[in-house]
Structure 1
Amino acid sequence: MADWLVLRALRGNAKQLDLSGKKLRRVPKAVGRLFELNRLQLKNNQLTDLPTELQGLSNLTELNLGDNSFKELPEVLKYLRQLKKLHLFSNELETLSPNVLECLTNLVFLNLNNNKLTTLPEEIHSLTQLKYLTLNNNQLECIPSKLCLLQKLCELCLTYNRLQSLPHNIGYLTNLKKLFLSRNQIQVLPEELCMLRNLKVLDVAGNQLHIFPSKLLDLKLEEFYYEQNPLLEKNLILSTQQNEVLSLQKIHITSPVQVVPVRALLCSYKCFNEADHDFYGIAVP
């Protein structure tokens, strides 16, 4: 069936070819002769590698390798320099070859969801045109600081990983509009996060956050998800305001626990030092 589809594509000088769900263990070498091809669908097969003949697809801009059995990036990808969209979701990737990544300089969209990645190579900064990067459901414990050099990045998805912190130069991602960090182990958000002036969506649900950066309210967020963090277990103390406000280190422990409005939590660094309010500290049970 697959060979027949390739033969028909060759006769028609096709620009698109869909071989999804054909139980392929290998890609027919004849696909490499489809020189006008710009979109190739190979998802939902049993592929572990790609033939070197595919390096002839110099016009290919979109390649879908999702739901296969790749354990590493196919070497032939480094010859597909016109690629703009690359899907590698639901494979068995444990590492990303730096030699391949640094050749994909025109890539705009990269989907690496549902793999086994524990680290990202520094060479990821070579993807200078990248706008969408999704790495949900991996095993990442950190992200390299050089990822923050991707000046055109608009959306970054890191949900369901093992992240404990973010690089302090995350503020360099000045075009970032959506940042998904839910279901990690992050304890502190860096103050530099508040430099993301174009950020509209922030999801930090299901982490280990106790408090937010002091200038988070300065962001013009349209969507903000923060549930299932220990910061919700805070209790404001009502008291007559004093000229010299107690620092958080001097606040005593009280009970019972009460949930407080997120706005009060967001301003915990800022508004406690401003006039005309009755709150001066946070008690932790």
Structure 2
Amino acid sequence: MADTLLLRVLKSKPSHLKLNNQKLQKIPKVIGKLEGLTLLDIKNNKLKDLPYEVSHLYELTSLNLGNNEFEEIPECVISLTNLIKLHAFGNKISKINPVLFDSLENLTFLNLNGNRLTEIPPEICRLGNLKFLSIDNNKIDGFPVEFCALTQLTELHAAGNDISSLPLEFGFLTNLERLHLQKNKIRELPESIGKCYKLRVLDIAANKLRIFPTEIGAIPLKELYCEENPLLQHIPVHSVQEEEVLALKEITARFIMKELKDRWSYLRKCIRHYPDIRDMLSQASKCAVCGESFLNTWLECVRFISTKQNLKVSNMSGSVPVRALLCSYRCFNSAGHDYYGVAFP
């Protein structure tokens, strides 16, 4: 049936070809003659592979392999260098050949939902133009740090996986607008997510999140979904703690960072010659109460902010817990702030 259909359309030299819902088990080799084809839709069949001749479809920009029986993305796809959209959802794909990412540099849309993937190859960073990635309902447990090089990415769907954490460098995804991570095992979001200044929708529902990162308020969210998480509750507990004894390294670091604020400081001139020390101090944090810098010794606290007034999201009301770091118990015990200590069961 497919042979007859292809022979018929061969004369008309179409730019679009749809062979979906045909119960096909193979695609005839004659398809390679349709060299002007820009869209090929063969979803909802029983295909396990594609003929080599598909690699001759150099003009193809959109390929839909969805809902078939592929165990890997066919090797012939590597030759389709003009491909912009690739649908491979609903198959049995368990791994991706990294070579695929070398040739598909024009790809902007990739849908791998409902497969058997357990990991994302680091080579995905070579898809420099990728804007939309959907990997819902796989078995992926995390992202490689190289994933954060996809700086053109605007939409990421990764719901229904086994993801427990995001890379610390996640904030490099500065063009991200929609992030869907519901139904995973994420315990905390990286602080760098506060650098995703274009993020409008964040869905982190049904995870294991207890607290939001410090800079969550800096993100211009319009929608936030965080139900079914064991978020900290606003139940103050009285606690008295004596001032801690700081290590010599911490005391020295705090002194240097305070001196560096003075533009005429001798230390400010000297530190230029010690790049290792500069790198170490660049990892410092600021106390949420006094504003002074500290290196390694801090108190993890929580502040409850309004989703309406502070986050300005439109889809939910109430408050959410946000992490805050304090430099000392002196600041924690001072009056006039709304930070609470975190007590874990």
2:324 pairs with one of 224, 249, 269: 269
Do the aligned partners of 1:131 and 1:152 also contact (CA within 8 Å) in 2? yes
- Cα offset for 1:284? 5.6
Deviation at 1:100, TM superposition (A): 1.8
Contact 1:133 1:156 in 2 (8 A): yes
Aligned partner letter, 1:216: I
Residue identity in the other structure for 1:269:
A
| 3-state SS of paired residue (2:321) | helix
State the distance in 2 between where 1:207 and 1:238 align. 26
1:275 CA drift (Å)? 7.0
Using the TM superposition, give the Cα deviation of residue 6 of structure 1 relative to its aligned residue in structure 2, in angstroms. 1.2
Moved more, 162-171 or 1-10: 1-10
> Any residues of structure 2 matched to 1:100-115 within 5 Å, and which?
100-115=100-115
Name the counterpart of 2:233: 234
1:154 aligns with 2:169: no
| Superposed displacement of residue 92, structure 1 | 0.2
CA distance in 1, matches of 2:153, 2:104: 15
Alignment of 1:1-285 (within 5 A): 1-231=1-231, 233-237=232-236, 247=299, 263-266=319-322, 268-269=323-324, 276=336, 280-281=340-341
TM-score (norm 1): 0.87
Change (3 A) 1:57 1:213: same
**Contact 2:19-2:41 within 8 A present in 1 as well:** yes
Q: Is the 8 A contact 2:324 2:339 kept in 1?
A: no
Paired residues of 1:238 and 1:279 also in contact (CA < 8 A): no
Cα separation, partners in 2 of 1:264 and 1:95, compared to 1, 3 Å? closer
Q: Distance in 2 between matches of 1:133 and 1:269?
A: 32
CA contact (8 A) 2:299 2:325 kept: no
User: CA shift at 1:276, angstroms?
Assistant: 4.8
Kindly tell me: are residues 278 and 142 of structure 1, through their superposed partners in 2, closer, same or farther at Cα, counting changes over 3 Å?
closer
Amino acid at match of 1:167: P
Partner of 2:248: none
Kindly indicate whether the alpha-carbon contact (under 8 Å) linking 2:107 and 2:129 is maintained by their aligned counterparts in 1.
yes
> How far does the alpha carbon of each residue in 1:35-94 deviate from its partner, in whole angstroms, 9 at most, with x for none?
110000100111111111111101000000000011111100110000000000000000
TM-score by length of 2: 0.73
Q: 2:319 is matched by which residue type in structure 1?
A: R
Which letter maps to 1:28?
Answer: P
Structure 1, gaps ≥5 residues long: 250-260
Mapped to 2, the partners of 1:198 and 1:269 lie a distance apart of 23
1:235 maps to a residue whose letter is H
Instruction: Report how far residue 117 of structure 1 moved.
Output: 0.2
State the identity as a percent: 42
Deviations 1:118-154 (A, max 9, x none): 0111111111111000000000011111111011110
1:224 to partner: Cα distance = 0.6
Shift of 1:5: 2.3
Superposition misfits of 4+ residues, deviation over 6 angstroms: 270-275
Shift of 1:101: 2.2
Worse-matched range after superposition: 87-96 or 25-34: 25-34
Amino acid at match of 2:11: R
Q: Using the alignment, how far apart are the partners of 2:175 and 2:100 within structure 1?
A: 25
Q: Corresponding residue for 1:252?
A: none
Q: What is the SS of the residue equivalent to 1:101? A: helix
For the Cα contact (< 8 Å) 1:235–1:282, is it kept in 2? no
